[in-house]
Protein backbone atom coordinates (compact mmCIF):
# COMPACT_ATOMS: atom_id res chain seq x y z
CA UNK A 1 0.00 0.00 0.00
CA UNK A 2 1.32 3.46 -0.89
CA UNK A 3 2.09 5.50 2.23
CA UNK A 4 2.01 8.76 0.26
CA UNK A 5 -1.70 8.55 -0.50
CA UNK A 6 -3.57 11.39 1.13
CA UNK A 7 -0.47 13.46 1.88
CA UNK A 8 1.53 16.09 0.05
CA UNK A 9 4.84 14.44 0.91
CA UNK A 10 6.49 12.29 -1.74
CA UNK A 11 6.10 8.56 -1.16
CA UNK A 12 9.84 8.22 -0.45
CA UNK A 13 9.66 10.52 2.62
CA UNK A 14 8.29 9.21 5.92
CA UNK A 15 5.16 10.86 7.30
CA UNK A 16 5.63 12.69 10.62
CA UNK A 17 2.92 12.49 13.25
CA UNK A 18 2.65 15.53 15.52
CA UNK A 19 0.75 15.46 18.82
CA UNK A 20 -2.07 17.97 19.24
CA UNK A 21 -1.26 20.95 21.45
CA UNK A 22 -3.68 21.79 24.28
CA UNK A 23 -5.35 25.21 24.04
CA UNK A 24 -6.05 27.39 27.08
CA UNK A 25 -9.70 27.82 28.06
CA UNK A 26 -9.40 31.58 28.63
CA UNK A 27 -6.62 34.06 28.28
CA UNK A 28 -5.34 35.20 31.71
CA UNK A 29 -5.73 38.93 31.00
CA UNK A 30 -9.43 38.44 30.15
CA UNK A 31 -10.19 36.05 33.03
CA UNK A 32 -11.21 38.84 35.45
CA UNK A 33 -13.24 40.83 32.90
CA UNK A 34 -16.74 41.20 34.42
CA UNK A 35 -18.45 41.56 31.03
CA UNK A 36 -16.71 39.91 28.08
CA UNK A 37 -17.37 41.33 24.62
CA UNK A 38 -19.29 38.21 23.61
CA UNK A 39 -21.79 38.79 26.41
CA UNK A 40 -22.11 42.58 26.14
CA UNK A 41 -25.64 43.95 26.18
CA UNK A 42 -27.06 44.31 22.69
CA UNK A 43 -27.85 47.77 21.41
CA UNK A 44 -31.56 48.61 21.40
CA UNK A 45 -32.94 47.85 17.97
CA UNK A 46 -36.21 47.73 16.10
CA UNK A 47 -37.36 45.19 13.52
CA UNK A 48 -39.02 46.46 10.37
CA UNK A 49 -40.63 44.77 7.38
CA UNK A 50 -40.79 46.79 4.16
CA UNK A 51 -41.75 46.02 0.57
CA UNK A 52 -39.22 46.84 -2.14
CA UNK A 53 -40.98 48.81 -4.89
CA UNK A 54 -38.73 47.55 -7.70
CA UNK A 55 -39.10 43.82 -6.97
CA UNK A 56 -42.19 43.56 -4.71
CA UNK A 57 -39.99 41.61 -2.28
CA UNK A 58 -40.28 41.70 1.49
CA UNK A 59 -37.27 43.28 3.20
CA UNK A 60 -36.60 42.38 6.83
CA UNK A 61 -34.47 45.00 8.60
CA UNK A 62 -33.02 45.39 12.07
CA UNK A 63 -32.53 49.11 12.74
CA UNK A 64 -30.56 50.71 15.59
CA UNK A 65 -33.06 52.91 17.45
CA UNK A 66 -30.50 55.49 18.59
CA UNK A 67 -28.91 56.15 15.19
CA UNK A 68 -31.48 54.89 12.67
CA UNK A 69 -28.78 52.87 10.92
CA UNK A 70 -29.73 49.50 9.41
CA UNK A 71 -27.78 46.88 11.37
CA UNK A 72 -28.93 43.83 9.40
CA UNK A 73 -31.04 43.36 6.28
CA UNK A 74 -32.42 40.28 4.54
CA UNK A 75 -32.19 40.06 1.54
CA UNK A 76 -29.16 42.30 1.21
CA UNK A 77 -28.98 45.25 -1.19
CA UNK A 78 -26.94 43.38 -3.80
CA UNK A 79 -29.55 40.62 -4.02
CA UNK A 80 -32.35 43.18 -4.40
CA UNK A 81 -30.46 44.92 -7.23
CA UNK A 82 -29.90 41.53 -8.89
CA UNK A 83 -33.62 40.71 -8.65
CA UNK A 84 -34.55 44.08 -10.16
CA UNK A 85 -32.04 43.54 -12.99
CA UNK A 86 -33.37 40.04 -13.73
CA UNK A 87 -36.94 41.37 -13.70
CA UNK A 88 -36.03 44.05 -16.26
CA UNK A 89 -34.37 41.43 -18.48
CA UNK A 90 -37.49 39.27 -18.28
CA UNK A 91 -39.70 42.26 -19.10
CA UNK A 92 -37.62 43.08 -22.18
CA UNK A 93 -37.95 39.52 -23.47
CA UNK A 94 -41.70 39.45 -22.83
CA UNK A 95 -42.41 42.73 -24.66
CA UNK A 96 -43.67 42.18 -28.20
CA UNK A 97 -41.62 43.89 -30.88
CA UNK A 98 -43.07 45.39 -34.02
CA UNK A 99 -41.12 45.11 -37.20
CA UNK A 100 -41.97 47.57 -39.97
CA UNK A 101 -42.10 46.05 -43.43
CA UNK A 102 -42.16 48.09 -46.57
**Per-residue pLDDT for 63 more than 90?**
yes
How many domains, in total, are found in the chain? 1
Q: Which domain holds residue 84?
A: 46-93
Q: Which residues of 86-96 are buried (b: 16+ CB within 10 A; e: fewer)?
A: eeeeeeeeeee
User: For the CA atoms of 47, 52, 58, 59, what is the dihedral angle to 10 degrees?
Assistant: -30
Q: Is the pTM value of this prediction over 0.85?
A: no
Mean of the per-residue pLDDT values of the chain: 76
User: Is 88 inside any structural domain?
Assistant: yes
Lowest mean pLDDT of 19-33, 40-54, 57-71, 76-90, name the range. 19-33
Residue 75 and residue 54 in contact, taking contact as beta carbons nearer than 8 Å: no
User: Is 30 inside any structural domain?
Assistant: no
User: Is 40 inside any structural domain?
Assistant: no
**Per-residue pLDDT for 91 more than 70?**
yes
What is the per-residue pLDDT for 95?
A: 64
User: Is 15 inside any structural domain?
Assistant: no
Amino acid sequence: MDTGIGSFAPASQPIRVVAAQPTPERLPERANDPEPAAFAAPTPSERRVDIDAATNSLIFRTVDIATGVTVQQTPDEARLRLRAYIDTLGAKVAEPTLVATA
